[in-house]
Amino acid sequence: MVEMMIFSRYGEEIPKVREVSRDLAARLTEENWDFHCFNTQKEAEAFVRSDLPLDIVCTDVTGEDGIGLAKECRRRNRNAYVILIADIHLSPASYMKPSIMAGSLLLRPFRTEEIREAFSEAFGNFFKEDEENEEENQFIIDNREGKWRIDLEHVYYFEAREKKLFLNDGVREIGFYDTLDNIRKKLPAWFVRCHRSFLINGRKIEKLLLGQNLVVLKDGWEIPVSRTYKKEIKEYVG
């Protein structure tokens, strides 16, 4: 699943951007896409704060603190591809910043063909970068609901239950068929086994409570620690 956010202060622009995006997405990939569209900054800010991992961000930097929103999108989504919408009179120095790392720019006023041209290049670059970083940075799930690409940095843990595995990224849970032993071979060394039913992201460990047989992850997630894996997780935490 590719997650894309579209924010424009002008509501009439959103259908054009969304339709071009859908058309290009269908041509470039078989993955499912989910489009999150907003025409007020308040709604867009609330959505970004929900921490749903985003793959592509198209956001309007014109107007009050539009640049601040773009920076927040980047801060919360380090690997997202960012496309900026800006009025032609806005100085590029105000939004072409390292803290935003925009990959593409759409200048107003624009026509549908100009959207298509800018997004063709943007999506092409996104999928090229995605393929190059896929094995190292992402976990791919292909199930009945579609194909999902999840940034490993966002994953809290994998849990085995009900004869399936479930990936939890703090926002959603995605089920698929595999085993913890098998996926562990594919994951970076910072994924640690703490229980026969759990494989956790070691970078999200907040504290280890061995007396209570628990490991606490960021945002308060409590995961059980079994006797078999106490030594392993203790060595990882140091």
Determine the 3-state secondary structure of 36 from DSSP. strand
Q: Between residues 28 and 24, which one has the greater pLDDT? A: 24
Q: Which of 226, 221, 191, 199 is nearest to 210 (CA)?
A: 226
In this structure, the strands spanning 146-151 and 157-161 are: unpaired
Is the pLDDT score of 134 beyond 60? no
Q: Which of 39, 49, 45 is nearest to 67 (CA)?
A: 45
- CA dist 210 and 69 (Å) reads 41
Say what the pLDDT of residue 130 is: 58
> Residue 136 in contact with residue 176, Cβ under 8 Å?
no
Say what the pLDDT of residue 94 is: 85
Domains and CATH numbers, the chain: 2-139 (3.40.50.2300), 155-237 (2.40.50.1020)
Say what the pLDDT of residue 199 is: 97
Say what the pLDDT of residue 7 is: 97
Query: What Cα–Cα distance (Å) separates residue 209 from each residue in 155, 222, 226, 238?
Result: 21, 10, 12, 13
Question: How much is the mean pLDDT over the chain?
Answer: 90
Please write the tens of the pLDDT for every residue from 88-133: 888 888 888 888 989 889 999 899 998 998 888 888 877 776 555 5
Give percent helix, percent strand, percent coil of the chain, each to the nearest 5.
40, 30, 30
Tally of residues, the chain: 238
- CA dist 96 and 24 (Å) reads 25
> Residue 155 in contact with residue 168, Cβ under 8 Å?
yes
Mean pLDDT of 17-28: 89
Indicate the residue type of 70: A
Is the pLDDT score of 236 beyond 90? no
Q: Between residues 92 and 179, which one has the greater pLDDT? A: 179
Confidence of residue 135 (pLDDT cuts 50, 70, 90): low
Angle between helices 112-137 and 13-28 (to 10 degrees): 50
- For residue 81, what is the enclosing H or E element? strand 81-87
- Residue 155 tokens read as 């994953």
